[in-house]
Amino acid sequence: MKIILLIVAGLIPAVALRYAILRRPISLGATAGTCFGILIYVAILVSTSVQRQFQQPGDEGISGPLPILTDLVSAMAKVSLPVVIASFFVLRAKSAGADNEQ
């Protein structure tokens, strides 16, 4: 459930930018730059989530940074890949009435 919430939180900037602010498709270069910014945003969300998970009191089973890094890489693969791909398609999506306007 936490992964789905992180994916939804990661898609909020792309949806807001595309449908609320610009209201038109974005060029390919601008989309790539925006997706990179969204990737940084998602990395911050995921690293904060992993940090909270390993800072809970009473957990003495952690032995070194390896469990933290594996959880971080795993969460980045599960969250950032779908978010960046979906953001790219959201930002490049044609308007619903684009065919009728021409």
Residue-wise pLDDT for 36-89, tens only, equals: 999 999 999 999 998 888 887 666 666 678 888 999 999 999 999 999 999 999
pTM of the shown model: 0.82
Establish if 20 belongs to a structural domain: yes
Tell the residue number behind the tokens 């795993």, with chain if given. Answer: 74
Establish if 102 belongs to a structural domain: no
Tell the residue number behind the tokens 């990737």, with chain if given. Answer: 39
Residue 45 structural domain: 2-52+65-94
Establish if 99 belongs to a structural domain: no
How far is it, in rounded angstroms, from Cα 56 to Cα 50?
11
* 4-48 pLDDT, tens digit each: 999 999 999 999 999 999 989 999 999 999 999 999 999 999 999
What single letter denotes the amino acid at residue 26? Answer: I
- pLDDT at residue 102 is higher than 50: no
Total domain count for the chain? Answer: 1
Residue 6 in tokens: 């992180």
